[in-house]
Amino acid sequence: MPEGGIVASPLLEVRDLVKHFPIRRGLFGRAGARVHAVDGVSLAIGHGETLGLVGESGCGKSTVGKVILRLIEPTSGTIALDGRDITTLDTGAMRAVRQQMQVVFQDPYSSLNPRMTAGEIVGEPFINYAIGTGAERAEKVAALFRRVGLRAEQMARYPHEFSGGQRQRLGIARALALGPRLIIGDEPVSALDVSVQAQVINLMMDLQEEYGLSYLFIAHDLAVVEHISHRVAVMYLGKIVEVAPKRTLFATPGHPYTEALLASVPLPKPRARRKRVTLRGDVPSPVSPPSGCRFHTRCPYAVARCAQEEPLLREIAPGQQVACHLR
């Protein structure tokens, strides 16, 4: 899919997604305060597109992925897959939808059952959905092994007999088994060596081109996100603060937080110079987020209005939306 801005007919559309976790205290576990993990996130992913979702640890990006998959239930908001609202589907209806949405987890070891062989792990989705006979399933699993760069004879091995990169290839093969249209990658290469990261990323890009997959690629490594994404959404303390085509975002970031993220990436040239962005203090607690713009307590450009009024995402350039009063 060519790099662009606003998605006209998205495969996935999320509107005003909210997820709050109650903090239970006392003998009877009464709910007190709430963790504002996700607080009004809206995003869209087109057919065959990769949307990168970036931000500091704890900003809520992994929670967004889990809520979209309904591994955890949203507090409010809507999730639509190809125009169908899946937010309140019951277990039976959601079971059919799960064939269209799959996930690749961050840890390629803990996400695989150590008591199952690699072939059983990749073939389990076929059994769960009663697809094919035993011989047909074995043939499909062998084909998936070959497609992700593994050998069919490795099907009898257990997860501990594979390297980290090979284990993540198993996770990708498992995600592909049911022919999904959307795959959510929750930091799928962060636990791998740099050289292996490149191999896995290139594999995911090849699979996207071959099968027309859409990705929500959650990561904190901006170099990886720049390589794989068409557009990038930047998240801070439960909210999206900027969405833009990747070239626009990396060349001309519109939000001060995006600017600070990019400034934190080491340059490969020791003598290269760029603008320094110094942030004040620490990330505020998601239990009691700041009023107004949530970034104003650390922003070097903040004015009085930033502490009083919450900025809305608005377009400042073709396809580039920024939530900042100063833009």
Spans in the chain with pLDDT lower than 70: 1-8, 26-31, 267-276
- CA distances (Å), origin 219, targets 60, 126, 184, 211, 269: 11, 29, 11, 22, 24
Nearest to 181 by CA among 96, 106, 119: 96
Our measurement of the distance from residue 28's CA atom to the centroid of its chain's CA atoms, rounded to an integer in Å, reads 36
**Would you state the pLDDT for residue 5?**
57
C-alpha span between 231 and 228 (Å, rounded): 9
**Would you state the pLDDT for residue 2?**
46
Reported as a single tens digit per residue, the pLDDT across 67-83 is 999 999 999 999 999 99
Its sign, for the CA torsion 169, 170, 171, 176, is positive
C-alpha span between 37 and 18 (Å, rounded): 8
**Would you state the pLDDT for residue 25?**
72
Nearest to 222 by CA among 255, 252, 264: 264
**Would you state the pLDDT for residue 27?**
61
Question: What's the one-letter identity of residue 150?
Answer: L
**Would you state the pLDDT for residue 272?**
61
Q: Which domains does the chain have, with CATH numbers?
A: 12-100+180-322 (3.40.50.300)
**Would you state the pLDDT for residue 270?**
66
The DSSP line for 11-58 is: SEEEEEEEEEEEEEETTTTEEEEEEEEEEEEEEEE-TT-EEEEE--TT
Reported as a single tens digit per residue, the pLDDT across 221-247 is 898 999 999 999 999 999 999 999 999
